[in-house]
Amino acid sequence: MQSSYLTSVIRQFAYYKMLGEKAMEQVPDEALFWQYNEESNSIAIIVNHMAGNMLSRFTGFLTSDGEKPWRNRDAEFDNSFSDRAQLMARWNEGWACLMHALNELSEADLERLVYIRNDGHTVTEAINRQLAHYAYHAGQIVFIAKMIRNTHWQTLSIARNRSSDYNQRKFSREKGKRHFTDDL
């Protein structure tokens, strides 16, 4: 049985995955590879880095260091994709690894110690670390896509000048325990 923490954190990760995907859906294929300047990352580079991090951190999550000897982090910041299909395959590979690892955990695992570069974390701490990391990068993907789409951007949150409508809809419902993504 999963704890409420595990259920919640899995939903949070799924939310950030959805944000990244909905942002990427809005940009043309060639825009996935656009960089503001040489020091900036494209959406494709961010996807490659996120997937590489997920595969390293969550392969053998409870049994091996989260920084795998086979990971080449520096190469994650080079564009290695030729098209959207390759990029999305890598994206999905990383997310599948993460979600599989999380779905295998139990409440009893949450206080176990895992290591990232020999630094010990409880499982909860390690998950929180990665949740913050992936939210940070999902936000970058959204921001880049929003810049590219400019006035054609379709918001992924409450639309400008629509907060009252959103709040009215939310407050018209009975109070109850639910995840904020239930009605997205």
CA quadruple 41, 36, 34, 145: dihedral sign: positive
Q: What is the pLDDT of residue 72?
A: 96
Q: What is the pLDDT of residue 179?
A: 81
- Residues 141-167: pLDDT tens digits? 999 999 999 999 999 998 899 999 989
| Four-way CATH pick for 4-171: 1.20.120.450, 3.40.50.10860, 3.30.420.40, 1.10.357.140 | 1.20.120.450
What is the C-alpha separation between 172 and 163, in angstroms, rounded? 14
What is the C-alpha separation between 141 and 148, in angstroms, rounded? 11
Q: What is the pLDDT of residue 136?
A: 98
Query: Is residue 38 pLDDT above 60, yes or no?
Result: yes
Q: Is 43 exposed, middle or buried (0-12, 13-18, 19+ CB in 10 A)?
A: buried
- Half-sphere exposure (Cβ direction) of 35: Cα atoms closer than 13 Å: 12
Q: What is the pLDDT of residue 146?
A: 97
Quick one: average pLDDT of 40-47? 97
Q: What is the pLDDT of residue 178?
A: 81
- Residues 54-101: pLDDT tens digits? 999 999 999 999 999 999 999 999 988 999 999 999 999 999 999 999
